[in-house]
């Protein structure tokens, strides 16, 4: 999987409100994400409205 595919999948989980699943998914792909791991985890931290805004900003 590419970093983009992993991030897209995490974004989809967050968009569905599945925050714990998104955290677990990102953690499972930590090695593949490399330097992008922290960015992915930052997306998932915080309250749901903050997370959705971060996702929108990252991918738009």
Please report the pLDDT score of residue 43 as a whole number.
77
> What distances in angstroms separate CA 23 from CA 14, 17, 28, one per listed residue?
9, 11, 9
Please report the pLDDT score of residue 59 as a whole number.
62
**Residue boundaries of the structural domains of the chain:** 3-59
What is the arithmetic mean of pLDDT over 16-27?
92
Q: How far apart are CA 49 and CA 8, in angstroms?
A: 18
Please report the pLDDT score of residue 48 as a whole number.
58
DSSP reduced 3-state for 9: helix
E strand intervals along the chain = none
* Whether pLDDT at 17 is above 70: yes
Q: What are the tens digits of pLDDT across the range 29-46?
A: 999 999 999 988 887 776
């Amino acid at each position: 999987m590419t970093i983009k595919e992993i991030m897209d999948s995490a974004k989809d989980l967050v968009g569905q409100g599945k925050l714990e699943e998104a955290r677990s998914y990102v953690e499972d792909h930590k090695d593949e994400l490399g330097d992008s791991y922290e960015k992915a985890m930052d997306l998932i931290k915080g309250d749901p409205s903050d997370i959705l805004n971060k996702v929108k900003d990252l991918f738009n």
